[in-house]
Amino acid sequence: MTVDTKVYGQTAWVEGLAYVGLPVLNLPGQWTLQVDSSGDLGVYLNGVEEYRFTTAGNLESPGGGNYIVGTNASYVSIYGGNLFTDGIVKQFNGISTAGLGTDATYAAALQTAVTNTGVTSFLSYTPPGTAGNYLVNVSATVTSATSGVVEFELSYHDAAGATVTTVPISLFQLGTASPALSFTTSAASRYGGSMLIDIDNSASAITIKWVGGGTLAGFASASIQQIQ
């Protein structure tokens, strides 16, 4: 059954037929379809309006009148919920995209407290069994330290199927020109780094390790994004 979402006054169009007044169209189960008191096409479950198609062309949740999908002359908006898709973004801002169309973040850790003690699996993500291109991002904020060690290490299977095990990620210290695989500090300081990697189709985990050392306190964040 197809439903034309346009509603004219008290008339709803279903499969090209006009239903006038306040008709009730019984659907399978406890669902019904009818024009509500506002002149919109309502979808009811056990007599309660769950969704409605408005005369403005929006799909709404009647509770508070929040948009689920709203349209106007220049955009489509989604409000009050999350977007789930099993496809990719084929076009963005009118321009055809490549890869996934937009970056997808599949694992993230935000401002996790860290010390001089290492964390073997600070962040880990197991991708599906398809080859891909991923971006690994790390950052750290040291609040206090005495010869504290700032270092992240990365493990994964590369595009050739080789095992890459606990290899340091190049970092920059904010305000310092040269990158390093590891920094030792005795002061409050800030660090960050990113690495683009190719993986094979073995569905092997991408794992970020926090190394630590000396005396140190602070916070670290990380994310693993798929680019294509």
If you average pLDDT over residues 134-140, what whole number do you get? 98
Taken as a whole, the chain contains a residue count of 228
Q: What is the pLDDT of residue 89?
A: 80
* 9 and 50 together in one domain: yes
Whether 121 is covered by a domain: the verdict is yes
Pairing of strands 76-78, 91-92: unpaired
Instruction: For 165-218, write each residue's pLDDT tens digit.
Output: 999 999 999 999 899 999 999 999 999 999 999 999 999 999 999 999 999 999
Q: What is the pLDDT of residue 78?
A: 61
* 124 and 38 together in one domain: no
* 130 and 44 together in one domain: no
* 215 and 154 together in one domain: yes
Instruction: For 47-97, write each residue's pLDDT tens digit.
Output: 888 888 877 777 777 765 455 555 554 555 665 566 777 788 888 777 888
Angle subtended at Cα 162 by Cα 158 and Cα 167, rounded to the nearest 5 degrees? 70
Whether 221 is covered by a domain: the verdict is yes
Q: What is the pLDDT of residue 131?
A: 97
Structural domain of residue 30, as residue ranges?
3-84
* 204 and 114 together in one domain: yes
Whether 96 is covered by a domain: the verdict is no
Query: Distance between CA 226 and CA 101 in Å, rounded?
Result: 11
CATH at residue 197: 2.60.120.40
Q: What is the pLDDT of residue 16?
A: 43
pLDDT band at 148 (very low <50, low <70, confident <90, very high): very high
Angle subtended at Cα 158 by Cα 157 and Cα 162, rounded to the nearest 5 degrees? 70
Q: Taking 50 as the threshold, does the pLDDT of residue 13 lie above it? A: no
How many domains are there within the chain?
Answer: 2
Query: Distance between CA 25 and CA 45 in Å, rounded?
Result: 12
Query: Distance between CA 54 and CA 5 in Å, rounded?
Result: 7
Q: Taking 50 as the threshold, does the pLDDT of residue 113 lie above it? A: yes
Q: What is the pLDDT of residue 10?
A: 42
* 65 and 115 together in one domain: no
Q: How many CB atoms lie within 10 A of CB 52?
A: 23
How confident is the prediction for the chain on average, in pLDDT? 83
* 64 and 30 together in one domain: yes
Q: Return the closest-CA partner of residue 222 out of 138, 96, 166, 118.
A: 138
Q: What is the pLDDT of residue 75?
A: 53
Read out DSSP for 184-221?
A: EESS-EEEEEEEEEEE-SS-PPEEEEE---SEEEEEEE
The single residue listed with the structure tokens 């309660």 is 48
* 75 and 122 together in one domain: no
Whether 120 is covered by a domain: the verdict is yes
What percent of the chain clears pLDDT 70, i.e. is strictly above it? 78
Whether 92 is covered by a domain: the verdict is no
Whether 125 is covered by a domain: the verdict is yes
* 171 and 212 together in one domain: yes
Cβ contact 226:133 at 8 Å: yes
* 111 and 216 together in one domain: yes
φ/ψ (deg, to 5) at 63:
-65, 100
Whether 12 is covered by a domain: the verdict is yes
If you average pLDDT over residues 36-56, what whole number do you get? 80
Q: What is the pLDDT of residue 54?
A: 78
Q: What is the pLDDT of residue 2?
A: 44
